[in-house]
Amino acid sequence: MDTAIQAKVNTWLNGDFDQATKDEIIRLQKEEPAVLADAFYKDLEFGTGGLRGIMGVGTNRMNKYTVGMATQGYANYLKQCFPGSVKVAIAHDSRNNSRFFAETAAHVFAANGIKVFLFEDLRPTPELSFAIRHLKCQGGVVCTASHNPKEYNGYKAYWDDGSQLVPPHDKNVIREVQKIVSVDDVKWSGGEKNITIIGKEIDEAYIEMVKGLSVYPEVISRHSDLKIVYTPIHGTGIKLVPQVLERFGFKNVSVVEEQKTPDGNFPTVVYPNPEESEAMSFGLKLAEKTDADILCGTDPDADRIAIGVKDLHGKWVLMNGNQTAVLAFNYLIEARKTKGIAKPNDMVITTIVTTPMIGRIAQANGVACYHVLTGFKWIADLIRQKEKKENYIIGGEESFGLMIGDKIRDKDGISAVALLCEMAAYEKEKGRSLYEKMIDLYVQYGFYKEQLVSITKKGMDGQQQIAAMMETYRKNPPASINGSAVLKLLDYELQKGKNLKTGEEWKIELPQSNVLQFILEDGTSISARPSGTEPKIKFYFSVNTVLEKAADFEKVNRQLEEKIKAVIGDMKL
């Protein structure tokens, strides 16, 4: 074993760590030395969103000690920024050890003299964002690894507006966490009196907030029997989605029995991700059996949503994240306009890798549309900048996330379920399915089709391979892709745009981010973006054309599918 790795292992074997941890290290030394090396070859990085990693012993794993050290650094920074009384809220999802990590964080904060509001049991991530604002906290934490496989857990840090950390706080917290070099630097206990357990009272305030987002309650009352199927995929959504739908007035909600119970082993799925058809398969079966109007699914921490609908042939299909966002954005813009509650300063926010179709819809309806970097913290940051000047309605991105209204500052699968079910009722009253509505929007605004390709590079050198891939694209961009010239190269890391035809350059007025975009002459856009939390790189493809009439949908859809395949093939991914 590398001497530096061995030195770190020895520190844990000889330091103030519990015996179970030491016993596991000894077992790995004998039985799985490669696993032990991976667990110690680096420190689990506290990134701009917090921690995420595989659970287990070691500096490169999620465990009591890495969570405690991160919390100590975060506590130190909060106390620097808020010299008086500091309050934080803490929530967790259904993953294995999430409660333990949440309680560990609570005890460290409390030992540092910080007032802690700890949820009594698992709760969705969006409720944590809401609680921070509702309880006037200075920060917060939710223990979740979102939709990652069961081996993972994570720790997301929040600021006083209910948003995840943005500059300068993200980098400043990272610096403070890096100063905690030993478990002996952590205050582990002694402040238990500073912990208050919260629960039902926050649930009620949150549910009432979501109910206030409804645009057409009278439509729901006429279609209260709308057939809804919902799956929480063994996660936290079960705590609030059925209650919110009931409060909205929906009376015919079927919850998928096999995925109803919260379970960190996620026994019915490989990935507890509603983006995956496998994770939604039980929901699709129940939707077909009950002849439902809409299927909704949320991920383990209930911040993401996926929906299923019947296509033109009556077959159940899952909408992708871009389609779901288009439907939601259009509904709020259109419904508010029809009802006469739209404001001249209404605005919506989307991200640079989300379908351009949202911008087209907003522009056609006289609504300002802003594009930010990927991540809801950037949507929240822009809301903060434009508060009292512009009226935020909805934000969202292609990764199955929506944020409706400004009472929370992170993506919210709970309110999204309610809104999309209301939209299904609204369209049903017009004699139309959501699928047919989507086609009508393509006719009205242009047919945009997107696809995501994710490439994972595992092992110690995974990140380096991805970095090399990005550097090649940056220094040697392709001249053409699939027969269409690359017109523009947008480099968000260098904050520079360039017209490759004319040589014209301009500054991109967004924070630095390691994203590259190729805009082709035929309107195709391709974005390359490494993940900040996993050894993964994502490629986002968007193509578009005119759809003259609804009857041409399937033919044009096939043409766009072939075009995306050809583009991906030409890039040799």
pLDDT at 532: 64
CA–CA distance, 129 with 156 (Å, rounded to integer): 11
Q: What is the pLDDT of residue 147?
A: 87
Structure confidence at residue 531 (pLDDT)? 79
Q: How far apart are CA 111 and CA 185, in angstroms?
A: 12
539, 469 Cβ separation under 8 angstroms: no
Length in residues, the chain? 573
Predicted local distance difference test score (pLDDT) of residue 465 = 87
Each domain of the chain, given as residue ranges in start order, spans 42-185, 206-445, 447-571
Distances (CA, A) of 107 to 39, 65, 154, 417: 25, 13, 17, 34
Outline where DSSP puts E strands in 305-461. 305-310, 316-318, 346-351, 368-372, 391-397, 401-404, 447-456
β-sheet bridge partners, residue 88: 116, 139
Q: For the domain with range 42-185, which CATH number is right: 3.40.50.720, 3.40.50.2300, 3.40.120.10, 3.40.50.150?
A: 3.40.120.10
Backbone angles phi, psi at 488, to 5 degrees: -130, 145
User: Can you tell me whether residue 121 is helix, strand or coil?
Assistant: coil
In the DSSP assignment, the letter for residue 530 is E
The β-bridge partners of 537 are 455, 530
Please tell me the class of the 447-571 domain.
alpha beta
Nearest to 106 by CA among 174, 193, 178: 193
DSSP 8-class letter at 295: E
Rounded to whole angstroms, the Cα distance separating 512 from 526 reads: 18
Instruction: Give CA–CA dist 478/100, Å, rounded.
Output: 49
The pLDDT score that the predictor gives to residue 460 is 64
Give the model's pLDDT for residue 458: 76
Q: Are strands 139-143 and 152-159 parallel, antiparallel or unpaired?
A: antiparallel
List, by residue number, the catalytic residues: 146
The fold for domain 206-445 equals Alpha-D-Glucose-1,6-Bisphosphate; Chain A, domain 3 (3.40.120)
- In the 8-state DSSP scheme, what is residue 80? H
Residue 433 has φ and ψ, to the nearest 5°, of -90, 165
Dig out the tokens for 253 from the structure.
């909600």
pLDDT of res. 573: 79
User: Considering just the CA atoms, what is the radius of gyration of the chain in Å?
Assistant: 24
How many degrees, rounded to 5, is the angle at CA 319 between CA 313 and CA 320? 145
Domains 206-445 and 447-571 share a fold: no
* Rounded Cα distance, 561 and 203, in Å: 43
Range 432-436 contact pairs with CB under 8 angstroms and sequence separation of 24 or more: 433/293, 433/309, 433/310, 434/294, 434/307, 434/309, 434/319, 434/327, 435/309, 435/310, 435/311, 435/312, 435/317, 436/312, 436/550
Low-confidence ranges of the chain (pLDDT < 70): 459-460, 532-534
Please tell me the predicted confidence (pLDDT) of residue 533: 59
Task: State the amino acid at position 286 in one-letter form.
Answer: L
Can you tell me the distance from the alpha carbon of 83 to that of 102, in angstroms, rounded to the nearest whole number?
24
Selection from 245, 342, 303, 263 nearest residue 128 by Cα: 303
- Find all residues with CB under 8 Å of 158, minimum gap 6, and list them: 128, 129, 132, 139, 140, 141, 142, 164, 165, 410
Q: What is the pLDDT of residue 418?
A: 98
